[in-house]
Structure 1
Amino acid sequence: MSDAAKAYARVANTTAAPREIEAQALLKAANQLQDVVNKPDPTGVRTKEALLFNRKLWSIFMSDVLRDDNQQPLEVRQNIANIGIFVLTQTAALQINPQLDQFKSLIDINRNLAAGLSGRA
C-alpha cells in the first residue's frame, strides 16, 4: 500500500464523515504543495514528496469515481474525473519540471474542493 493510501486509510479510521476525511486529505496535499512554494527545497526531496502525495491522492479519487458502484450522480463523477485528469497531468508535468509558479492551480483546486466537502464553500 502506498504512503498516500496509508495516510488516507489512517484518516479514514477516525470518526469523521467520509466527506470530511476527503477534505482533510486534500488540505494536507495543498499544505504540502504550499510549503514547497514557501520554502523551496534545494534538494527537491520535499517537492518530490508533495507531488507524489498529490498524485497518489488524486489517483485514489479517480479510482473511486470510476467504480461502477459509485453512488454519485454521473454528472458529478464526470466533473471530478475532468478535474482529476487536469490535476494528474499538471502534477506529472511538475514532477518532470518543477516550476513553483505552476503549483498555485493545484493548491487552489485542493483547497476549494476541501472547502466544498467541508461545507465551507
Structure 2
Amino acid sequence: MSNAAAQAYARVATTTASPRDIEAQALLKAANKLQAVVSSEATYEQTTEALMFNRKLWTIFLSDALRDENNPQSIEVRQNIANIGIFVLTQTMALQISPQAEHIKPLIEINRNIAAGLGGRA
C-alpha cells in the first residue's frame, strides 16, 4: 500500500472509530513507542519523545476524568482513572529525569491493559 493510501485509510479509520477505539489506539501507540525504547538502544531524543507522548496522552485522560460536566462515567470510574493517571504521570516525569528501561515496563503494561479493556479484550 502506498504511503498516501495508508494515510487516507488512517484518516477514514479515525473518523469512523468510536471514542473508545480511538483511546485504545492512542494507548497502544504510546505502549509501542515505550516498547521501542525498552527493546532497542534508543537515543535520548527517541526516549524523550516516547515519554512525552505518554505524558500528553495521560494528561488528557486525567483532565477528562476530573471534569464533572459532560462525563458519562461514574465518579468511581473517574476516580480510578485519576489514580492511574497520577501514577503514570509521576512515573513518566521521573523517567524523563532518569530513564531506566525496567521502570518503563509497568507503563507499557498499564497502557496495553487499559487498551485491551477499552477494546473489550480484557
Give 1 or 2 for the bigger CA radius of gyration. 2
Query: Is the contact made by 2:14 and 2:22 (CA closer than 8 Å) also made in structure 1?
Result: no
Runs (4+) off by over 2 Å: 10-13
Structure (1/2) with the larger helix percentage: 2
- Is the counterpart of residue 46 in structure 1 residue 46 in structure 2? yes
Counterpart for residue 63 of structure 2 = 63
Q: CA deviation at 1:13?
A: 4.8
Q: Give the whole-Å Cα distance in 1 for the aligned partners of 2:111 and 2:74.
A: 21
- What is the identity percentage for the equivalent residue pairs of Structure 1 and Structure 2? 72
1:103 is paired with a residue whose SS is helix
Unpaired stretches in structure 2, ≥5 consecutive residues: 1-10
Query: Is the contact made by 1:66 and 1:77 (CA closer than 8 Å) also made in structure 2?
Result: yes
Give per-residue Cα distances to partners, 1:7-30, cap 9 Å, x unaligned.
xxx799521000000000000000
Q: TM (normalized to structure 2)? A: 0.87
Q: TM (normalized to structure 1)? A: 0.88
Q: Give the whole-Å Cα distance in 2 for the aligned partners of 1:11 and 1:29.
A: 21
Q: Give the whole-Å Cα distance in 2 for the aligned partners of 1:40 and 1:113.
A: 27
Query: Is the contact made by 2:24 and 2:119 (CA closer than 8 Å) also made in structure 1?
Result: yes
